[in-house]
């Protein structure tokens, strides 16, 4: 099947799965959206001149980050269970999420650091006020590196939950991506397009007012976390399943050829 068609088929399957399990998925995503909103508001409202205010808000942000990660894992477990036609509920998914928490968090942070460091080098070259050609080359080099890392390793956090027996989450992610690179590329492009559209929507709705932009940002952030994030998670996982299936078939073919 054509890769372009395949990604749209996956999106249709993801929407169907979402519609048939929307209560569970929206329950998890709603709580996750609340956590994200608390993190944003906490960072915005923290006042270092008021010690009690600062401590309270910092604690709120820390706990919100913890619950946000745990709810992300719970959503992955919920999608995985419902995809496999297993009956599950929020309590079960949330409880099970605790078993994968640290592995998921460490993998996510490691991925963020790998990609983030590449981007930092771009800003470093700009801050040094280097030759424009040098800045352009650094941007191209490190920007490309960031995209490459994200391309090959973006499934690593998912591996930590769905394939905890894997010796390396990053190696497993790279192995899966190699099984169907065009499909992964189409998913990445789709994600970039969605991000651009969301960014443009914020500017169009917010206008030139800083306050309005902040309000629009919070509303958009909440709606994205509530609806788009779980949908994208399902698409992301559907692609993961396809990659696993392809990798398994390729492995069997290799074993058969060897015999």
Interhelix angle 3-20/22-45, rounded to 10 degrees, is 90
Task: Please provide the average confidence, as pLDDT, over all residues in the chain.
Answer: 84
Mean pLDDT of 9-35: 94
Does residue 55 have a pLDDT over 80? yes
- pLDDT bin (cut points 50, 70, 90) of residue 121 is confident
Mean pLDDT of 239-247: 91
Q: 12, 34 in Cβ contact below 8 A?
A: no
Q: What was the pLDDT predicted at 140? A: 86
Domain ranges for the chain, please list them: 3-252
Q: 228, 26 in Cβ contact below 8 A?
A: no
Q: What was the pLDDT predicted at 224? A: 80
Q: What was the pLDDT predicted at 2? A: 52
- For the chain, the straight-line distance linking the first and the last C-alpha, in angstroms and rounded, comes to 29
Q: Mind listing the pLDDT tens digit for each residue in 128-170?
A: 766 777 778 888 888 888 889 989 999 999 999 999 999 899 9
Q: C-alpha angle with apex 243: 74 to 72, nearest 5 degrees?
A: 15
Does residue 104 have a pLDDT over 50? yes
């Amino acid at each position: 099947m054509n890769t372009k068609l395949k990604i749209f088929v996956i999106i249709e399957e993801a929407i169907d799965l979402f519609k048939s399990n929307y209560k569970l998925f929206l329950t998890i995503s709603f709580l996750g959206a609340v956590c994200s909103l608390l993190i944003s508001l906490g960072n915005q409202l923290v006042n270092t001149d008021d010690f009690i205010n600062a401590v309270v808000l910092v604690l709120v942000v820390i706990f919100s980050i913890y619950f946000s990660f745990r709810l992300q894992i719970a959503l992955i477990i919920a999608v995985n269970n419902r995809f496999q036609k297993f009956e599950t509920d929020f309590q079960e998914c949330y409880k099970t999420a605790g078993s994968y928490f640290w592995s998921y968090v460490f993998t996510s942070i490691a991925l963020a650091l790998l990609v983030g460091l590449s981007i930092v080098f771009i800003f470093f070259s700009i801050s040094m006020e280097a030759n424009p050609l040098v800045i352009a080359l650094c941007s191209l080099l490190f920007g490309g590196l960031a995209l490459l890392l994200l391309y090959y390793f973006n499934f690593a956090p998912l591996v930590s939950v769905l394939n905890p027996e894997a010796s390396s989450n990053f190696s497993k992610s790279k192995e899966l991506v190699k099984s169907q690179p065009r499909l992964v590329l189409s998913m990445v492009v789709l994600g970039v397009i969605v991000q651009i559209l969301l960014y443009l929507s914020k500017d169009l709705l917010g206008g030139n007012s800083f306050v309005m932009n902040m309000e629009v940002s919070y509303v958009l952030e909440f709606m994205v976390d509530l609806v788009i994030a779980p949908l994208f998670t399902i698409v992301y996982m559907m692609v993961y399943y396809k990659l696993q299936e392809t990798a398994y078939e390729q492995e069997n073919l290799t074993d058969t050829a060897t015999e």
